[in-house]
Amino acid sequence: MLDRPVKPSRLLTRLDAEIASARNAVEADCKRAERACYLARTGRIAEAQEVVDQLHQQYGQRPQIEVSVWVHLAEGLTEYFRDMSPAARGKILRCHALSAAAGLKPMQALSAAWLANMDYSRQDITSTKRYIVEALNFSTIDHHAALGRASLVMAQALHFAGQMVPARVWYAHARSHATSDGDELTVSALMHNMAWLRSLDLRKGVLGGQRASDDARHALMNAESIAQFDSLIGSFSLGSLVPILTAQILSTSGRHEEALAHYDAHLDTSLAQGMHRLRADLLADRAWCRLKLGLLDESGRDAVEARDSLDPNGQCDDRALAHGRLAMVFAELGDVAQAELHSGEARAAWLEYEALQDRLWTSFRDLTHPYMAPSN
């Protein structure tokens, strides 16, 4: 990757100016908490936490509701971007409840958008839809942070459902709001999410017996573009995501030695950064790479660890990919019983995946953006 100077953030520059020109201390401190949200999203966790701690100390004896809701949001995003902690949702839920009680609709909309983001990651479709609707309905036309995040979650849901035509419309809405807000981090999140979902489709096809196509080459180019963009804007949040994505694509392309190098360098870090739900999938894929390189003992150990890491209640796409890869590994290791077992589990998980796609499309197909005409 080229070593480039970091591009100044328009959003951060605006926040700094608004802090300097604030009419009073409460307004300035709300903007400081909003700035901490941005820092957390870039991966500058210690800086964000320092601001949160200072504001807690400053307002501990004389709370101000406007500052409190922003501090709860900043706390939640700091937890989330540190290691995707489940505690993050509770902080943002507190922000949402206080905002609603105080009639602070902009903060209610913004916290609802982030709750939708987190609940989509948990595949809670009912809650995701409820918070998306709230974020869209409670936002004014210029509330780009809430509208952009809600649009991005909508795009992800439709993309996952295999509905690319409406997904592109919502991706365009998300990009438009992010650009208007000077929020390069939302553009980065958009790029990441599109790349991961495209990788899912690619891996699903290859595990189903298809040969890797030019899609793999394009996916690798996308991953490199994301890495360069994040470097340009100074974002290193959850920095192992792109190397792990790259490893998966390389493995799918038959470039096992390169994939293994990425896994060995970044797998432990990715798990520490909150990617626990992917543990079985990543270990199974590393087992496959080691197997294809003749590292049979190491492959067997990874396969057993992946098998033991499988969560029967985990997300269906994660389980389908892990079981599918394990079926291939055990087949080549000569364990026919295990291969057949995992092959059957993979088929069942893919059926769950297709049912989830149908549920997502049924739930979200009628939602529309409140301010924008559909994009072409």
pTM of this prediction? 0.93
Q: Per residue in 261-280, pLDDT tens?
A: 999 999 999 888 888 899 99
Average pLDDT over the chain, rounded to whole?
93
- The residue behind tokens 């996916």 is 219
Tell me, what's the pLDDT at 1? 40
> Where do the domains of the chain lie?
11-103, 183-274, 279-355
Q: Per residue in 332-354, pLDDT tens?
A: 999 999 999 999 999 999 999 99
User: What percent of the chain stands above pLDDT 90?
Assistant: 85
Q: Per residue in 68-88, pLDDT tens?
A: 999 999 999 999 999 888 889
Tell me, what's the pLDDT at 2? 42
Q: Per residue in 292-308, pLDDT tens?
A: 999 999 999 999 999 99
Residues of the chain with pLDDT under 70: 1-5, 210-214, 238, 373-376
Euclidean distance between CA atoms 253 and 100, whole angstroms: 49
Terminal alpha carbon distance of the chain = 34
Euclidean distance between CA atoms 51 and 73, whole angstroms: 12
